Amino acid sequence: MKDRFYVWLNNYHWVPMIVLGVLLFAIGGVPFVLWGICLRVVVGLHCTWLVNSATHMWGSRRFETRDDSRNNWLIALITSGEGWHNNHHAHPTSARHGLAWYEFDLSWIQIRILKFLGIAKSVRVARLGSQVAVGVTVSGRGGHDDEWCVIAL
């Protein structure tokens, strides 16, 4: 069964942005809209593209996967943990990308807080040493729309 809120958000994803834009304009005019909407969206998109390009070229490979994904500590710091991209490709259903103590993952900390508050439920986390995921490219793009199978070790 689909959650009504997410169905609504999928159909009307632009409404929260418009409401926020109107509120920001009422509070601070055009400068607030530029900082609160335009810059936020541009930075968010560039960080996403940075993860999907730089972490497929530079960094270390902790897991042997069928793609060229890499872990990059600098990208991870800039993107709140998304730079642990090889970890993500090895364990695509895991909410935690920073799998070692030295792999800082701000997104995982936020998810843990949401879970503590009862907002996030059914959070999956990779169990190291027990499974390794092997990517099987289906779309031909070699990206995030691939199918994955999990192999027990």
User: What is the total count of domains within the chain?
Assistant: 2
List all residues 6 or more positions away from 88 whose beta carbon is below 8 Å from its beta carbon.
69, 82, 94, 97
Count the neighbouring beta carbons within 10 Å of the beta carbon of residue 76. 25
Do both 79 and 49 map to the same domain? no
Do both 33 and 91 map to the same domain? no
Do both 86 and 148 map to the same domain? yes
DSSP reduced 3-state for 149: strand
Do both 50 and 64 map to the same domain? no
pLDDT of res. 29: 96
Amino acid of residue 137: T
Do both 47 and 64 map to the same domain? no
DSSP reduced 3-state for 148: strand
Domain that holds residue 1: 1-54
Mean pLDDT (whole number) for 8-18: 93
Do both 95 and 111 map to the same domain? yes
pLDDT of res. 60: 94
Query: Would you say 81 and 104 are in contact if contact means Cβ atoms under 8 Å apart?
Result: yes
Tens digit of each residue's pLDDT (9 = 90 or more) over 23-62? 999 999 999 999 999 999 999 999 999 999 999 999 999 9
Do both 46 and 112 map to the same domain? no
Tokens 């998304």 map to which residue? Answer: 82
Record the tokens describing residue 11, joined without a space. Answer: 């159909």
Tens digit of each residue's pLDDT (9 = 90 or more) over 64-110? 999 999 999 999 999 999 999 999 999 999 999 999 999 999 999 99
Mean pLDDT (whole number) for 16-24: 95
